[in-house]
Amino acid sequence: MRVSKEQAAKNRERILEAASRLMRERGISGMGVDALADAAGMTHGSMYSQFGSKERLVEEAVAHAIAAKRREVPEGLALGEYVSEYLSERHRDEPGSGCPFAALACEMSRQSGDVRERFTAGFRGMIGLLSGRMASALKPRQREEEALAMAASMVGALVLARAVNDPKLSDDILRATRNRLGD
């Protein structure tokens, strides 16, 4: 039985939603096809008919996760508010709906060129988002440098805050980085 184009698009979106969440929760290598099919309420066959391979699915799911997080950022959100929300305990504790850069960065060096290209383009977008919220008194190159350092600090702090097994240290990492970036 053939699926309508509309239903196929809905199925594709459901798979991408589930894949982007599972990747951020379990990592790319921890996202098995069985778990993904279960989470999306689909069969293996329907996933392969949509994407052809797990690598293609990962590529599109990475792009999907990045775009979804970008859409969540309100247009008028001030830089300090963005930093505070990013470096919050809530964001740390909800990786499945959190930043794909912090969730997936450690795995990217082992991914295909296409997956890494999507990740890189998304990270450049984050730098642009930060740079666009910085004081206009800075020259464009200075804003880009500051935004790059800020993005690296934020992602690194979130990765470390999730990695350590000491809750106080985890909170301290987030707080200290928020304070440093707020200066």
Give pLDDT tens digits for 11-41: 889 999 999 999 999 999 888 888 888 888 8
Find the mean pLDDT for residues 72-101. 95
In this predicted structure, what is the pLDDT of residue 86?
A: 97
Cα 161 from Cα 173, distance rounded (Å): 6
- Categorize the per-residue pLDDT at 127 as very low, low, confident or very high, splitting at 50, 70 and 90: very high
Give the amino acid at 20: S
Contact predicate 62/104, CB 8 Å: yes
Contact predicate 52/60, CB 8 Å: no
> What's the distance, CA 159 to chain centroid?
12
Give pLDDT tens digits for 139-182: 889 999 999 999 999 999 999 999 999 999 999 999 999 999 98
Cα 175 from Cα 169, distance rounded (Å): 10
Average pLDDT, the chain: 92
In this predicted structure, what is the pLDDT of residue 43?
A: 78
- Categorize the per-residue pLDDT at 1 as very low, low, confident or very high, splitting at 50, 70 and 90: low
Q: What domains are defined for the chain? A: 5-182 (1.10.357.10)
pLDDT over 80 at 183, yes or no: no
Global confidence as pTM = 0.89
Q: Measuring CA to CA, which residue among 42, 112, 103 is closest to residue 69? A: 103
pLDDT over 90 at 111, yes or no: yes
Residue with the larger pLDDT of the pair 183 and 63:
63
